[in-house]
Amino acid sequence: MQTKVFERTELVDTEISTSAYNAIIGMTLLIGFAINFAMVKYIPAQTIASINPLMLFIGYIVCCFTGVALFTKSDSPPVSFLGYLLVVTPFGLIINLAVSRVSPAVVINAIQATACITFIMMLLGTMYPAFFKSIARGLFIALICTIVVEMVMVFIFNVHHTILDWIVVLIFSGYIGYDWARANSIPRTVDNAIDSAAALYMDIIILFLRLLRILARR
């Protein structure tokens, strides 16, 4: 039985240097962001908007869950990278729709804010790994509660409060620190680097989308 990536404590492949490990994480993230940029630039938002919303939602869920299952359970770099791409692609569609509704200045501001928060949280995750690991359960509970409240507010009361966006920003800022701390506590292999990058990618993109919504309202 294969062990999920962040539960791995024993080597299943050759360990690489810390610099190579971090470089692979960085390159994997950059590839994901580059794919998203290309999707925004070359795929018209109208084309995505014309897709049946239910089909788009089902496709998004299937791709994301399949991708997460692949990169968390596989110890093969090519399989994990395929899982990563299955996550990056549907997120790219959502990003495309989101940025099409705001001005380029707002998008740039959101990117800058996301980059600053990501850098700070990674730095803190490096300095205080034990702290971030200790708040994992709290982050998960807070996320579930926020999702439930947001669904109730949107689908029952048909309103959305900005405070919920700020809460999500705080939660996923914490998750960036947490996932970075976890990434540096498991064996430094190529596969684990890809898996760690995939987890960080989702944290960073969700953070960006919420910051984009907050800044757009201003």
The whole-model pTM stands at 0.92
State how far the alpha carbon of 169 is from the alpha carbons of 23, 31, 162, 189, in Å: 26, 23, 11, 30
d(CA 37, CA 6) in angstroms, rounded, equals: 29
Report the pLDDT averaged over residues 98-122: 97
What pLDDT is stored for residue 9 in this prediction? Answer: 56
What pLDDT is stored for residue 7 in this prediction? Answer: 60
d(CA 184, CA 22) in angstroms, rounded, equals: 9
State how far the alpha carbon of 205 is from the alpha carbons of 24, 64, 83, 87, 158, in Å: 19, 13, 16, 11, 25
What pLDDT is stored for residue 2 in this prediction? Answer: 44
Candidates 69, 136, 102; CA nearest to 208 is 102
What pLDDT is stored for residue 117 in this prediction? Answer: 98
What pLDDT is stored for residue 3 in this prediction? Answer: 46
Task: Output 59-68 pairs: Cβ under 8 A, ≥24 positions apart.
Answer: 59/90, 60/90, 60/93, 60/94, 63/87, 63/89, 63/90, 64/90, 64/91, 67/198, 68/198
Candidates 162, 170, 175, 79; CA nearest to 135 is 175
What pLDDT is stored for residue 161 in this prediction? Answer: 84
Percent of the chain at pLDDT > 90 equals 88
Percent of the chain at pLDDT > 70 equals 94
d(CA 214, CA 161) in angstroms, rounded, equals: 10
